[in-house]
């Protein structure tokens, strides 16, 4: 199960300060193998109170000390709030590569790419495609059930849209067009 919760601090465009959702993931590959293949379905509510459906595909490799895992997340509004200007489908990805060192410390690189439909849509609702790429630090080994990862990096605007992005309540890690992002994730595997 994957759950996320967000809180919008000072944004006049939102109707609700809290957004989030949940997904159920099914691992299709053997849990004891090195290959990770999983799919997920779920839903949530964004900051403008639109209800969205989510689908996810996860692919990866988990070796004795090295991890490479990426996912493709598709999000579609199914009950739009009045005045919401969401895209028909939002396309977001993450990719992380890390290597474990002593004392369950992992160092690596992580990227987050959001609103990739901006490469094909001139009027992408969130303002265009964005990318964050930067170093990551993780604690937890392959044998550990708990893992925490912190990644940080600059946000780069890959495409510019004719839409400002202010009419969308989509919950995004990269909700700005420039600056830096600090991203933290906590996971428990069973």
Confidence class of residue 141 from pLDDT cuts 50, 70 and 90? low
Stretch 38-62: mean pLDDT: 91
Return the pLDDT at 154: 93
Q: Which of 60-69, 148-157, 180-189 has the lowest mean pLDDT?
A: 180-189
What is the dihedral sign for C-alpha 97, 98, 99, 100?
A: negative
What is the Cα–Cα distance from 48 to 154, expressed in whole angstroms? Answer: 26
Confidence class of residue 50 from pLDDT cuts 50, 70 and 90? confident
Summarised one tens digit per residue, pLDDT across range 162-184 is: 776 555 656 565 665 668 888 88
Summarised one tens digit per residue, pLDDT across range 107-140 is: 999 999 988 998 988 888 777 889 999 999 999 8
Q: How many CB atoms lie within 10 A of CB 149?
A: 19
Summarised one tens digit per residue, pLDDT across range 72-105 is: 999 998 987 777 777 888 899 999 999 998 878 9
Q: What is the pTM of this model?
A: 0.82
Return the pLDDT at 71: 94
Contact of 126 with 165, CB cutoff 8 Å: yes
Q: Tokens 């067009």 correspond to what residue? A: 177
- Residue 4 three-state SS: strand
Return the pLDDT at 27: 92
Confidence class of residue 152 from pLDDT cuts 50, 70 and 90? very high
């Amino acid at each position: 199960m994957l759950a996320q919760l967000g809180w919008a601090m000072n944004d006049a465009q939102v109707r609700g300060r809290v957004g989030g959702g949940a997904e159920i993931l099914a691992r299709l590959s053997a849990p004891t193998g090195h290959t990770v293949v999983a799919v997920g379905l779920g839903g949530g509510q964004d900051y403008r109170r639109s209800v969205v459906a989510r689908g996810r595909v996860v692919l990866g490799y988990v070796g004795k000390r090295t991890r490479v895992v990426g996912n493709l997340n598709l999000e579609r509004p199914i009950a739009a709030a009045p005045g919401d200007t969401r895209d028909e489908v939002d396309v977001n990805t993450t990719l992380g590569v890390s290597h474990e060192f002593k004392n369950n410390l992992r160092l690596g690189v992580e990227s987050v790419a959001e609103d990739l439909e901006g490469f094909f849509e001139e009027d992408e609702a969130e303002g265009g495609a964005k990318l964050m790429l930067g170093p990551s630090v993780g604690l937890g080994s392959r044998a550990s059930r708990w893992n925490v990862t912190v990644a940080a990096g600059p946000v780069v605007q890959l495409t510019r849209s004719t839409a400002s992005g202010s009419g969308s309540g989509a919950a995004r890690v990269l909700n700005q067009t420039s600056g830096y992002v600090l991203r933290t994730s906590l996971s428990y595997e069973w």
